[in-house]
Amino acid sequence: MKSKIIRRLRDEREILSGEALSTDLGVSRVSVWKHIRQLQEMGYGIDSAPKGYRLTDTPDVLWPWEFPGREERIHYFPETGSTMTVARKMARNGCPAFTVVIAGQQTGGRGRLQRKWLSDDGGLYFTVVVRPEIPPVLSSRISFVASLSLAGVLRKQFGVNAQVKWPNDILVDEKKLTGMLSEMETDADMVSFVNIGMGINVNNDPTPDESRATSLARLLGRTVPRRAILAAFLDDFEARMAQVDYDTVIGEWKEFTLTLGRRVRIVTTSETYEGRAADVEKDGTLILELGDGTRKSVIFGDCFLQPPGE
């Protein structure tokens, strides 16, 4: 109902009477009034007058009705423990592909290797449920599709030099803008779902806790609409997944990476390696050239870039 009210108010440039809304939506004027009050409490600028209602301002909110055509697949929580946890439960219960779980804030957000992901107000935190009909061996490449998609959206919409760092972080000017986490479950010899979790520093300020991070607001010097970022990413990502070539996606990803050729430190659950990032194979494995000239294949881990020239 709130979705319908907002849509009607946006379509109507002048004041829209409560009677007209009541008739259009098939509910009582009292019901319309209650929904209007709730929308005002959510931050929508809606003028109320004897003649009716007029929408004057829309906050940067992420409620389902702000994503026309996706309302049934968007699930927004002002605060939750982790969008990955909620999405996993939904995926196991059979939610459709491209279901999205969004949080205003996370109390238990996490990154790779169970590191805590700071999820302050103003950032964009979400998990997308993907259901590709592929064998598990190809599943890791979906994260590369997602990071490639988001980097492209950030470049196109905001003109920032978004680059990808293995495995799937996005950096601008060598500072972390986006972190990504994925998890998969299988059904026999096929993927049941892959969940892609993202944390994007948009209007929050991560620098007090992480000096090597940045945000879009800091980069651009202005407040950035989170809704526009998420809507553009979902459209682009879904379109890419509809025609993805798993044999070429890593090659595309390499065109935007700042990892290759750099000295890096790789941290896994049990070991740490240092060397030069020589290549990323088509399955997403990082090829690390060690100091003695030997090469090490790294399937999973966290990557820390050494300063250029080292």
What residues form the annotated binding site for biotin?
A: 106, 110-112, 176
Give the closest residue to 285 by CA, choosing from 150, 139, 111, 166: 166
* Torsion over CA: 252, 112, 154, 56 (sign): positive
* Torsion over CA: 298, 267, 107, 172 (sign): negative
Q: Report how far residue 13's alpha carbon sits from residue 181's, in angstroms, rounded to the nearest whole number.
A: 42
DSSP state of 148: H
Q: Report how far residue 111's alpha carbon sits from residue 93's, in angstroms, rounded to the nearest whole number.
A: 24
Q: Is 40 helix (H, G, I), strand (E, B) or coil?
A: helix
Residues sharing a CB contact under 8 Å with residue 276, sequence separation 6 or more, in sequence order: 261, 262, 263, 264, 288, 289
Annotated binding residues, written as ranges, equal: 106, 110-112, 176
Length of the chain: 310
Q: Are 104 and 79 in contact (CB under 8 A)?
A: yes
Q: Are 135 and 143 in contact (CB under 8 A)?
A: no
Which amino acid belongs to residue 277?
A: A
The string of DSSP letters for 226-277 reads HHHHHHHHHHHHHHHHHT--TTTHHHHHHTTBS-TTSEEEEE-SS-EEEEEE
